[in-house]
Structures are given as structure tokens and as C-alpha cells.
């Protein structure tokens, strides 16, 4: 077998500069094509891609992690494989060529990462040319696959779906405008504070309803529906508060949502729920009941004098007139808050 072509690397005019051979992309004896990247080296923390000067079979001289100087021959590209039989048949050559075509040149780190993620390197490589595959390419490939592959719902989400789709519930929605209260508090704080006060006068709308009957709540467990990175969640604020207390409690929920620490909060069954879509310019909407909680109040975008609310309640345990009276009381309470 002839020695073939030498593969040397020129990277510096400084005679004492050295590089480290990070890894060989191909195994020794593998067939490589002219212009393909066969190795990566590093000089002063800069990665160099080493291309094959000719098609042929790779015979490395420098080992991985060894150092070498600029101009050093690090491999030979042989015209014939050292393992090739003198009189190999055309079918054998065809088999070898097919195997070579299926080989994807990647670093050991990327090959292992792709294997751990169950990614087919050949499929991944079809969309990338003229450079070695990277770990980032594997992640991008997976993200695109996930975009079209249904992901299973979390345990919390499955429970939420069950709560929103009880076939026995009789949801009914009433809508009206509520006068704004103290300017020192946001509409959501005013609503939470007002609901806290109004529910004391209307225990029939405060609790849980199912096919067997209505169970009134003995203390306030106010659920606040929140959009988070993990989807809709309803943390619960326990007990009654004044305006400053509700302001502090709702700020704490927002901070927890932003920090991704809602899992440390109370997520039990609420006795009443508030859903606020005002920040998105929504006025009236139909909030979905979170069974078995008997009612949920939707809050819309406020104007200078008032804000729209939408009250959905379970008609099994509550009549429309009682729900309407609760909204009247809520309006009166918020106007009286100081």
C-alpha cells in the first residue's frame, strides 16, 4: 500500500506555538473524502477544524490529547485501506461504500450525547452540511421533534382538567361592572379584599358543590388563577386580610410565579376562585368552574371608574338571584373600602 497524502496543520508563525489534538472525528482506517473535517485541535483556547486534503483512508500519527507544533504531519491519507483484500469483489466494495455513506463524522462527546438522547445521527446530519455536528444541533433537533410530538399532561394538569370538565356541573355566568375602590390598590387587590368581605354576607356562594349537595366553607381559601411557565396554576391564599395584607399576599404570588417557586405554596382545594384577564385587555369572559368550588369570579380590564366582572357559579347549589345579590354586595363593599 502506498503512503498516500500527508495531513499537516499550519496554525502559527511562532515557532514555539503548540496545539492539542482534541479528538479524531473518524476512527483509524476510516474512509474520508476530500475537504471533510477529520479532526479538531485547540490552540490558545481556539478550536481548529482539520480537513482532509484528499479522499482516502485515515491513518493518524498524533494521538488524542497529544501536543504538536505548526507544520507537523499528524496523519496520512492512504489511497488504499490497509485491511482491504487484494482481490476483493465488487459486492464487497459496494458493501464497504454503503457502510462509509452511513457513517456520520462527529466528536465522541456529540456521539455519546446523541445516543443518550436517542437521536439518529444520520437523520440529524441530513439537514447540516460543511461543518461538524455539535451538541446544540442535537438539542435543536429534539426541540423541533417535541413541537410536533404530544407531551403528556402533568399530574396537576390532569387534575385541573378533571375539575374543569365535570359533566354533572351546571355552570352559569353573570356579568356586570363593579365601581373602583381606593386608588392606592390595584383592581385585583380591591377585588380580593372585596370578595373577602362580601363572602361573609353570602355564605351560600362560598364553598363546594357536587351532586350530593353544598358544603359551606368555614374559612376563606381564595384561589388565584395564574399563568405560569408550567401552565395554569391556582395557588391558595388562606384566611382574611385587610387591603395591605392582600396587596402583600398577591405580590408574593407574582414573585413566586416569576421565580418558579409556586410549588412551595398552598395548592389545595379553594373555597372561591378569582381569575384576572384584565392585563391582556379582556373585558368580559366566561371563567370555567373549578369543580367542586361553587364559584369563580373573572376580572376584566379596568377603566377610570370601574371594571367588568364575570361570575360563573354552579347552578346545582346556587340560584341566579343569589349570585346577582353577591355581585351587588361586592360592588357596595369595594366602594366602602378605605
What HEC string does 127-192 produce?
CCCCCCCCHHHHHHHHHHHHHHCCCCCCHHHHHHHHHHCCCCCCEEEEEEEEECCCCCCCHHHHHH
Q: Which tops the pLDDT comparison, 17 or 306?
A: 306
For residue 185, give the nearest of 224, 237, 243 by alpha carbon: 243
Specify whether the CB–CB gap between 329 and 198 falls below 8 A.
yes
Residues ≥6 apart with Cβ < 8 Å to 235: 223, 224, 226, 253, 256, 262, 265, 266, 267
267 pLDDT tier (thresholds 50, 70, 90): confident
Q: Does domain 157-336 have CATH number 2.60.40.1730?
A: no
Percent of the chain with pLDDT over 90: 39
Q: Residue 287 gets which letter from DSSP?
A: P
Specify whether the CB–CB gap between 229 and 260 falls below 8 A.
yes
Residues 31-60, mean pLDDT to the nearest whole number: 85
In whole angstroms, how far apart are CA 173 and each of 205, 215, 315? 13, 21, 10
299 pLDDT tier (thresholds 50, 70, 90): very high
**Cα 221 from chain centroid?**
30
Specify whether the CB–CB gap between 170 and 314 falls below 8 A.
yes
pTM score, whole prediction: 0.54
Poorest-confidence range of 10-14, 31-35, 106-110, 240-244? 10-14
Specify whether the CB–CB gap between 48 and 11 falls below 8 A.
yes
Backbone angles phi and psi of 169, in degrees to 5: -70, 155
**CATH for 1-103?**
2.40.50.100
Delimit the domains of the chain by residue range. Answer: 1-103, 104-151, 157-336
d(CA 293, CA 217) in angstroms, rounded, equals 10
Is pLDDT at 164 greater than 90 in this prediction?
no
Please tell me whether residue 239 adopts helix, strand or coil conformation. coil
Is pLDDT at 86 greater than 50 in this prediction?
no
99 pLDDT tier (thresholds 50, 70, 90): very low
Residues ≥6 apart with Cβ < 8 Å to 154: 230, 231
Q: Residue 293 gets which letter from DSSP?
A: B
Amino acid at each position: 500500500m502506498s503512503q498516500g497524502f500527508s495531513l499537516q496543520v499550519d496554525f502559527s508563525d511562532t515557532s514555539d506555538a503548540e496545539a492539542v489534538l482534541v479528538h479524531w472525528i473518524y476512527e483509524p482506517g476510516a474512509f474520508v473524502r476530500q475537504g471533510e473535517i477529520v479532526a479538531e485541535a485547540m490552540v490558545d483556547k481556539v478550536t481548529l477544524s482539520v480537513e482532509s486534503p484528499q479522499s482516502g483512508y485515515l491513518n493518524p500519527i498524533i494521538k488524542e490529547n497529544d501536543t504538536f507544533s505548526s507544520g507537523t504531519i499528524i496523519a496520512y491519507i492512504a489511497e488504499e485501506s490497509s485491511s482491504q483484500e487484494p482481490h476483493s469483489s465488487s459486492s464487497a466494495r459496494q458493501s464497504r461504500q454503503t457502510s462509509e455513506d452511513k457513517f456520520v463524522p462527529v466528536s465522541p462527546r456529540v456521539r455519546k450525547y446523541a445516543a443518550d438522547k436517542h437521536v439518529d445521527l444520520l437523520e440529524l446530519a441530513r439537514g447540516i452540511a460543511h461543518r461538524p455536528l455539535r451538541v446544540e444541533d442535537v438539542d435543536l433537533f429534539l426541540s423541533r421533534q417535541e413541537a410536533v410530538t404530544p407531551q403528556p399532561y402533568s399530574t396537576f394538569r390532569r387534575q385541573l382538567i378533571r375539575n374543569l370538565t365535570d359533566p354533572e356541573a351546571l355552570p352559569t355566568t353573570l356579568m356586570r361592572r363593579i365601581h373602583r375602590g381606593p386608588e392606592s390598590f390595584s383592581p385585583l387587590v380591591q377585588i380580593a379584599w372585596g370578595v373577602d368581605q362580601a363572602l361573609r354576607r353570602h355564605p351560600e356562594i362560598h364553598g363546594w358543590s357536587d351532586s350530593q349537595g353544598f358544603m359551606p366553607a368555614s374559612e376563606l381559601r381564595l384561589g388565584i388563577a395564574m399563568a405560569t411557565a408550567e401552565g395554569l396554576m391556582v395557588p391558595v391564599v388562606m384566611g382574611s386580610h385587610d387591603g395591605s395584607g392582600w396587596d402583600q399576599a398577591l405580590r408574593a404570588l407574582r414573585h413566586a410565579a416569576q421565580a418558579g417557586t409556586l410549588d412551595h405554596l398552598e395548592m389545595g382545594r379553594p373555597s372561591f376562585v378569582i381569575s384576572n384577564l384584565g392585563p391582556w385587555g379582556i373585558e368580559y369572559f366566561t371563567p370555567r368552574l373549578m369543580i367542586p368550588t361553587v364559584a369563580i369570579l373573572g376580572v376584566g380590564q379596568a377603566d377610570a371608574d370601574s371594571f367588568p366582572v364575570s361570575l360563573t357559579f354552579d347552578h346545582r347549589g346556587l340560584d341566579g338571584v343569589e349570585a346577582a345579590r353577591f355581585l351587588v354586595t361586592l360592588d357596595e363593599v369595594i366602594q366602602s373600602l378605605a
